[in-house]
Each structure stands twice: as C-alpha cells, then as structure tokens.
Amino acid sequence: METAISTVLFIPTVAVTVLLFAAVIRRLLGVRVGPARTLAAGLLAMIVTGPIMVAFAPPDRTSVTAGEAFLLILAAASVAALIAMALLVILEVLLPTGSLPGPVEIWRGARRRIARTRRYWSIVRIALRHGLGRFLRGRPAPGPNSAAARRQLARSLRAALDEGGVTFVKVGQLLSTRRDLLPAEFIDELTALQDQATPVPWDDIAAVLAAELGEPVEQVFAEIDREPLAAASVAQVHAARLHDGTDVVVKVRRPGIATVVERDLDILSRLADTLEARTSWGRSFGARGLALGFAEALREELDFTVERDNLQTMAAALASSPDRGVRVPAPYPAFSSERVLVMGRLPGTALGAAAPLLDGFDDARRERLAAGLLDSMLDQVLVHGVFHADLHPGNLLLDGGNSLGMLDLGSVGRLDAVTRNAIGRLLEAVGRGDSVAASDALLHLVDRPDHVDERELQRAIGILIVRYAAPGSTAGVAAVTALLRTFTSYGLGVPAPVAAVFRAFATLEGTLGLLRPGFDLLGQARAAGGRRIAEALAPAHLRDTLEKELVALLPVLRGMPRRLDRIGETVEHGRLRFNVRLFSDDQDRRLLTGMFHQALLTVIGAAAGVMAIMLLGSGDGPQISTGVGLFPLLGYSLLIVSVVLVLRVLVVIFRSD
C-alpha cells in the first residue's frame, strides 16, 4: 500500500519538477525552443540535480541547517539548469529547431517517400529501356555528334516522355517550344507529342460532375453527350445543352490526376536539381528554373477556375480592341469549379483539321485571317498585357466566315506596363533598323548581369536585324532562336513572362503559316507596329495621353509650391538636414551581422578558453563522484566549447569561397 502511495506521489512530483525546470530554462534562454527539447533539458536538469547536490553537501550532513539545505538545493538546481541550458544551446547549434520533423511528419514523409521511390524507379526503368541512362549520370553520348545520332536520341527521348505519362508529356511539349535550348531534331520530334489519352468511363465523369455541381447531371443540363468530344491527359470535353437551349461544352478534370501530377512534379523537381548539380547541360539549360516554371504552369492548368478567369479577362480585352475576327468562348461561372468548366460552344473546325475548308478560301481571305490573328496577338501583348501563350492549330477553331475562336486558356501570359512598353520600343527599333534602341529595349526586358559589353551587344543585335528583319525575310522562328541564343551568350537572363512572349510568337508562326503559307510574320509585325506608332502620334490620341498625364501630375503640381516654400523656410532658418539611412540594403546588413557574429564567436571562444584554463588550474573543487571533480569537468567542457567556437571562425576565414 505504501509503495503504491509513494509511486502515485512520485510521478506528479517528477512531472512538476521537469515542467518547472523547462519553464525556467526557456525563460532564461529568452528564445523559442521546441517543446520536446525543452522538456528533455528539464528532465536532464532534474536527473543531474541529485549528484550535484550530493557533491556540494558537506561530509557531516547532520549539521546542515534548514537554510543551508535550501541554499544547497538552490545552488545544485542552478548548476543543473546551467548545464542543461549549455547542452540545449549546443544541440541548437548542431540541430536547429525545426530541422527534424515530428512523428506525424515522419510517418507522412515515409509514405510519400515510398510512393516517390516506386515512381522514381519506374521512370528510371523507362529511361534505361530507351537508352537514356547515361544522360542521368551526366555522361556524354558516345560516338560522333551527327544529325542522325541526334535524331535517334530525339526519338528515344520522345518515346520515353510519352511512356512517362501526363507530366512528362507536358514537359516534352514545353521543351518543343525552346528552340534556344534544343537542336532542330529534338524540336521536330517533341512537337509530335500528342496530349491524348483513353477516355474516362462516363460513370466516373458523372460522379465528378455531381460532386462539383452539387446536384445530378440531369438537373443541370438538358442534354449531355456521354461520348467525349476530346480526351486529353488532363481533362476531357463533353458536348451539352443547358435547359434554356444554349449549347455548351463541359470540361472535366480526370479523376485522380492531381495526385499523379503532384507526385511527378516532386520527382521532376528533384531530378532537375540533380541534373543541374551533376551535368553541364543541366546547368546550361537552367533545369531547376525550368522545372519550377513548368510546375507552376501545370498547376494552373489543373485548376479550371484559373481558366475561367482567363476567359473572362480575355473576352474583356478583345471587346475593348478593334474587331480582329478573334473570339473566345464565354464561361458560365455558376456551373464552373476547380474540376469542372462549362463554357459556350463555338462553331467551327479545329484549324489543324481545317485544310479542306482553307483550300476553298482565296489568298486575300486567308491573308486577312492571318493578319487579324497577328494583330489580335499584338493587341494582347502590347495593349492589354494578357495573351494566349500557346496558339497552336489545335487551340484555334475556324468557322465558315472570317473569324477564329481561341480555346484552352488554362495558361496565359501576363505582362506589366513597363515590359509592354519595352516590347513596343523593341518592335519600333527593329522596324527602323536601330540596333542601339533595340539593345536598350532588350536590356529593359532581360535580367542583366553586373557587367555586360553593351557595344558588343549592339553590334550583335545590329547583325540580327540586318539578317532577319530586312524586308522580304521570312525566318521568324530562326530570328527568335538567334535572339535567345544571343541572350545566353551575353549572360542575359530571360524572365519567364518575356520568354513566354517569344515562345508564343514562335508557336504562332507555324499557325500563321497554316492559315496563309508564306506569311511574313516579321514584316507584318513591323507594319502593325508602325500602325500603332502612327495611331499613338495621332492628335486625338496625343490629346488623350496628355490629359491623362496631366491628371496624374495634378496632385504633385498642386503640392509643389507648398513644398518649395517649406524648403526655402528651412534653409533660411538653418534647419535643413539630410537623413541618410546606413545599411538600408539587405546585403549590407547581412555582411555587418555576419562580421559581428564572427567577432562575437571569437570573443566568447577566447573567454571560454581562459575560463577553462583557470578552472583546470584551481584544483578539483567539489567532488561529483569518486575521482571526478566539478572544476575539471567544467574546465574541460569550456575548453571543448572554446575549441568548437574558434574552429567555426577559422573555417569561415580559410574557406576558399
């Protein structure tokens, strides 16, 4: 009975003691430390308090008064807390709080790691089966680098990406637009990748529709075709009719595709990190940046609310511009969600399959269609800053009249006013053949390094203008490729929105060539840019621009006399002062903080070394156990701390980078 009572009383006492030590240690440290570490430090302090108190106690313990016993306990507890705090600080240096996951995170991470490993080995087997294993190890291709060898390698890459599934098919489609990175053989093969998939059974599609719309499909649509119009790897499209008789199309995301894509994106990100770290071609491609941009674009494509908003934005932009004969379907937000998009059905035939219809058009009509599409694209880029980033023939519908319908706005490009202005100045400079103005506009578009030879860049741009922008030249894609390679050779980084513009026009050239064979993209772009410049210089437009600028400047002009009067009065009375903020830049603050930390570590390490020498020369002090004194223990501990701190400073001083 007494044993049970003692146990019942002992457990709460230990718990209270540990919590008390933990609270004191956290308060004394003054920083947030993980609760598990704090409780562990409190438990350690409680364990070592007993031996320390025994070491502090005099040999004749019967003569110890109550006050002396209290002071003895307080001293032992203080030393124990200090030891626990020191160990906690050392643990924070070695393993900072948050660097180790908790039990729940470990369990979830293990499950994700197992699934990722299975998928990773599946991808590796696909790569090995198609002869791509040596590239994962960073080894160059054996034998001569001939066009035939590159073509065979491109076929193997296309087959591997096609077998890899939706994410890797999308990767191949993205790479097919990067003519600045890949040879022509790879571009030709990757362009042939088709984003097609086996249709999902209707019961699964109906379940998704019911879950997203909140009611059975029959109550939302008067009719819906159970056979899809098209089935891609991300979604499939069904024709339907609303109860008011409006013909619509219903775009439904494939069930479970988001989980597959997220797993593959995680693997793709890790693979890109590995390729950039271990291979020269991965570093030259910027594999990590490509993977991040691709992941963001693909996640947007999976979220149909993004496409719904893009449709509304694009419709408003087209409505505010002159009629170029280009339309977009109207979305129905009430019936749309993240996995379902309902939009109006545009009449027409996909441009890729409209060759018989185009053959019936005369050259002038085909020229008008192509010019209208190019003008619309220029309006989107230069005026509205929202443009369709992938206008390939499959994303355009051709009706029997003189209009085109744009589809698949899941991923659009967006440009700010400064970028739009720089692109406009670039087109204007190319039209005039002014390489100096063109290079200035380009430097406003790209991420420039610390040092760039602007004179050499101007000469390179001038050569490109003479070669590709001369009247009669039709080398549109070649011009874009040469320009992007010029960026790379001068160390100029192309921001993602600007790269999207170049890719969009490179893709658009093939579409324009299908509408009107031999269509001069650069010549028409120069002409369209000239028309826009003439419109901008028209008296009515200049008056509107001047009025807008004056309205924007009016508050500044209104407050200018008052500010000048205050400055004059301050100068007159000798109260003019200049306030300069030192170390306002983040890099300066980081440099100063790093230097201060190194100096502080040096001082603390030296002080700990001096204290260690003094303690080691002061005898044994109180005995903690047989043969172990307190002073040598503390001295050697401080000596270890001193050596560690000094080594931390020295490794920073002698580090080569």
Sign of CA dihedral 265, 271, 276, 277: positive
Lowest mean pLDDT among 28-32, 92-96, 548-552, 565-569: 28-32
> What percent of the chain has a predicted confidence (pLDDT) above 90?
4
Structure tokens at 305: 């609310």
Catalytic residue among 375, 390, 408, 434: 390
Q: Report the distance separating Cα 386 and Cα 134, nearest Å.
A: 41
Residue 49 predicted with pLDDT over 70: yes
Q: Do residues 412 and 310 lie in contact, with contact meaning Cβ atoms separated by under 8 Å?
A: yes
User: Is 390 a catalytic site residue?
Assistant: yes
Which tens digit of pLDDT belongs to each residue from 351-382?
877 778 888 888 888 888 888 888 888 888 88
Say what the pLDDT of residue 657 is. Answer: 47
Please tell me the distance from the alpha carbon of residue 442 to that of residue 155, in angstroms, as a whole number. Answer: 35
The H or E element spanning position 424 is helix 417-432
Backbone angles phi, psi at 413, to 5 degrees: -90, 150
- Residue 183: count of CB within 10 angstroms of its CB: 14
The tens digit of pLDDT for each residue in 474-483 reads 555 666 667 7
d(CA 261, CA 167): 6
Question: Dihedral, CA atoms, 499, 501, 502, 508, nearest 10 degrees?
Answer: 140
Q: 276-309 pLDDT, tens per residue?
A: 777 766 666 667 777 787 788 788 888 889 889 9
Lowest-confidence region among 239-243, 545-549, 616-620: 545-549
Range ranked top by mean pLDDT from 11-20, 170-179, 433-442: 433-442
**What confidence score (pLDDT) does residue 341 get?**
92
Longest dimension (CA), the chain: 118
Continuous H helices in 102-201: 103-129, 133-136, 147-164, 166-175, 184-191
Give the pair of three-digit tokens for residue 386: 């929202």
Q: What is the rounded distance in angstroms from the CA atom of residue 230 to the CA atom of residue 251?
A: 10
Residue with token string 């940046």: 289
Confidence of residue 561 (pLDDT cuts 50, 70, 90): confident
pLDDT of residue 61: 61
**Averaged over 558-583, what is the pLDDT?**
76
In this structure, the number of other CB atoms found within 10 A of the CB of residue 190 comes to 23
Higher pLDDT, 556 or 409: 409
CA 291 vs. chain centroid, Å, equals: 8
User: Which residues is 396 bridged to in the sheet?
Assistant: 406
Distance of CA 593 to the CA centre of its chain: 29
Instruction: Please give the pLDDT value at position 535.
Output: 61
514-542 per-residue burial string, b: 16 or more CB within 10 A, e: under 16? bbbeebbbbbbbbebbeebeeeeeeeeee
Query: Which of the 8 DSSP states describes residue 401?
Result: S
Nearest Cα neighbor of 631 from 623, 620, 639 is 620
Task: Please tell me the predicted confidence (pLDDT) of residue 71.
Answer: 65
% of the chain exceeding 70 in pLDDT: 74
Question: What pLDDT score was predicted for residue 285?
Answer: 61
518 — pLDDT class (breaks 50, 70, 90): confident
**Residue 236 bridge partners (DSSP):** 231, 252
Residue 527's Cβ-side half-sphere holds a number of Cα atoms within 13 Å equal to 11
Phi, psi for 326 (deg, rounded to 5): -125, 135
The predicted pLDDT at position 368 comes to 86
Report the DSSP pairing between strands 326-327 and 404-406: parallel
What is the distance between the terminal CA atoms of the chain, rounded to a whole angstrom? Answer: 69
pLDDT band at 342 (very low <50, low <70, confident <90, very high): very high
Nearest to 239 by CA among 354, 398, 346: 346
- Poorest-confidence range of 208-212, 454-458, 485-489, 533-537? 533-537
Q: Concatenated DSSP letters for 615-648? A: HHTS---SEEETTEEHHHHHHHHHHHHHHHHHHH
The pLDDT tens digits for 589-600 are 777 887 888 888
Which band of pLDDT confidence, cut at 50, 70 and 90, is reported for residue 498? confident
Mean pLDDT of the chain: 76
